[in-house]
A = this chain, B = another copy of it.
Amino acid sequence: MYKSVCEYLNLLLHINLKIRRNMKTYDVIIIGSGPAGIITGVTAKKRNPDKSILLLGESQKGLVPCGIPYVFHRLDSVEKDKMGPKPFMDAGGDFQADKAVDIDPEKKIVTLDSGQAYEYGKLVFATGSTPVVPKFIKGYDMEGVEYIKKNYDYIEGLVEKAKKAKNIVVIGGGFIGAEVAEQLQLNGSHNVSLVEMEKYCFCNAFSTELADMATEELKKTGVNVMTSTKVTEITGENGKVSAVKVDSGKEIQADMVIAAIGYRPNTELAKKSGLQLNKIGAIIADQYGRTSVNDICAAGDCAGTTGFLTGKEDTIMLASTATAEARVCGYNLFGICLKRHFSGTLGVFSTEINGMVMAAAGVNAKTAWEANVNYASAVFSDVDRHPGAFSDCSPLSVRLYVSLSDGSIIGGEVWGGKSAGEIINTISMSIQKNVTVYELVEFQFGTHPLLTTAPTKYVLVKAAEAVINKIR
């Protein structure tokens, strides 16, 4: 009886407080409406239809992040790359175009830019990432220095500006830089240069061998690719960019400079709210996305990742990784209903440059060396049809990286025709399930003349055989 009275009084007090604050409570509030935010929301809402979930985002008009390079040519439209919170709203979630500016983790209150405030049961950071600004380059702040921001209106403006630019210099040869350079070049209206300080483009994701190939393909599109080159200064007149100076002393004409030197996690608010960040400034989160603060989770680019093999902090920022984290986070917000089976982040990358597909999963020679892993590696090359006489036949190669300690597949690269984009997923599955090279060699796969390599030399199996021959 006494307890009930207490509870009743407590409830009254609670109601009173809420009325006073005029504050609504959501079971879940998600900050950020990119892929991680939307997928956390959709997953959590479908799993818990009775929970109230609010998604906060800048605008209902978002972008498919990995599709941005293609708005400059292949899609030829920003509208066609649109992605928004509709799937989440269709699932019954609430969306609000507003920005979280303050969090009280004790009282569990989020305050928005508009002044409005909500109480939350669980809070999810899905605040994404922002292009790194090259403050170390003189002239970085001139008019005409642009970024690939994941923002609809900004990109729409950028497309218009690019139309007026004859000479464009892209700084940075990662996926975004290289793909944007390729697409701008292929649209035929610009002279595009790309400056990369490493020996090859894509060298963060690909082995030296594959990065070399990818760089050569990029050159074939007509992009003036300058590797092993550093930008020393962006120069211009009246505050407007006119050229880029590089360390060889050479000057490249530029009406527009696109800085694509990486992204940094958006974690100012997280830091302010007392969440622990890792060395690169990402939110430290466990395998279920739980942060250092009770009832606050993080998923996607703003959350730190841990390499599956090294167990060390990683800097992988991919929409595929973000959505995988978001699914795990969304499922497990109210208790572990989806036990995590594979710990750590794998990193599965793919791209197409000049019609050549290149993909990678797990470690490569360079990252295996850095992690001090003993491995064997071998490549097998054939074509993606059988017989090879079909007119739409493309080359196809697979390289596997195999742990010498237990024979398990720890990495792979695939390049050639379009099917490489899915073959890398069979490799990724193999890594996640600890498939050994001995199991892979007896893999029961499917083949068809119009779709795959021949059954006599199915690329994954032959690459596995080649590794076994090296191990013996």
| A469 interface residue per 8 A CB criterion | yes
Flag the segment in A191-199, A220-228, A366-374, A383-391 that touches B.
Answer: A383-391
Residues of A within 8 A of B (CB): 35, 38-39, 43, 46, 64, 66-67, 70, 74-75, 77, 80-83, 87, 318-324, 327-328, 331, 338-342, 345-346, 348-352, 357, 359, 361, 386-387, 389-390, 418-426, 428-430, 432-433, 435, 438-439, 441-452, 454-456, 458, 460-461, 465, 469
Residues of B within 8 A of A428 (CB): 443-446
| Chain B residues, CB < 8 A from A359 | 446, 448
CA distance A390 to B445 in the complex (A): 29
Establish whether residues B447 and A66, one from each chain, have CB atoms under 8 Å apart when the complex forms: yes
- B residues within 8 A CB of A349? 446
Q: Can you show 9 pairs from A to B with CB atoms below 8 A apart?
A: A75-B390, A320-B444, A323-B456, A348-B444, A348-B446, A350-B446, A422-B422, A424-B446, A429-B430
Question: Given that A327-B441, A430-B429 are contacting pairs, would A35 and B456 also be in contact in the complex, using a CB cutoff of 8 Å?
Answer: yes
Are B418 and A82 interface neighbours, CB within 8 A?
A: no
Contact: B387 with A64, CB < 8 Å? yes
Given known contacts A80-B389, A338-B441, A442-B340, is B447 in contact with A319 (CB within 8 Å)? Answer: yes
- A352 and B451 form a contact (CB under 8 A): yes
Known: A81-B389, A338-B438. A348 touches B445 (CB 8 A): yes
Contact check: which of B74, B345, B460 meets A444 at CB < 8 Å? B345
Q: Are A421 and B439 in contact (CB under 8 A)?
A: no
Q: Is the CB of A75 within 8 A of B418?
A: no
Report A33 CB to chain B, min CB distance, Å: 12
Complex formed: what's the CA distance from A43 to B429 in Å?
26
Docked complex Cα distance between A324 and B439 (Å):
11
Chain B residue numbers with a CB within 8 Å of A340 are: 442
Cα of A418 to Cα of B87 in the assembled complex, Å:
27
Chain B residues with Cβ below 8 Å from A361 are 446
* In the complex, chain B residues whose CB is within 8 Å of the CB of A64: 386-387, 449, 454
In the complex, which of the residues B39, B324, B389, B460 contacts A75, with contact meaning CB atoms closer than 8 Å?
A: B389
> What's the Cα separation between A302 and B182 when bound, in Å?
52
Asked if residues A451 and B387 are in contact (CB atoms below 8 Å), the reply is: no
The distance from the CB of A444 to the nearest CB of chain B, in whole angstroms, is 4
| Among A318, A454, A455, A460: residue with most chain B CB under 10 A | A455
* Nearest residue, chain B, Cβ from A452: B421
A451 contact set on B, CB distance < 8 A: 350, 352, 357, 418, 420-422
Question: With A323-B456, A451-B352 in contact, do A444 and B346 touch (Cβ < 8 Å)?
Answer: yes
Which 6 interchain pairs have the tightest Cβ spacing?
A421-B451, A348-B446, A80-B389, A422-B422, A320-B455, A319-B455
Please give 13 more A-B residue pairs, beta carbons under 8 A apart, in addition to A64-B387, A421-B450. Answer: A64-B449, A64-B454, A82-B387, A319-B455, A320-B455, A324-B444, A327-B461, A340-B442, A342-B439, A359-B448, A423-B425, A429-B430, A430-B433
Contact among B38, B352, B441 for A456, CB-based, below 8 A = B38
**What's the nearest-Cβ distance from chain B to residue A339, in Å?**
7
Residue of B nearest to A308 (CB): B444
How far does the alpha carbon of A340 sit from the alpha carbon of B389 in the complex, in Å? 34
Interchain CA distance A429-B428 in the complex, whole Å: 10
Check B444 against A75 for contact (C-beta < 8 Å): no
Alpha-carbon distance between A391 and B214 when the two chains are bound, in angstroms: 24
Across the interface, do A421 and B445 meet the contact criterion of CB distance under 8 Å? no
Known: A74-B390, A444-B342. A429 touches B426 (CB 8 A): yes
Which residue from chain B places its CB closest to the CB of A332 in the assembled complex? B442
- The answer to whether B386 and A67 have CB atoms under 8 Å apart is yes
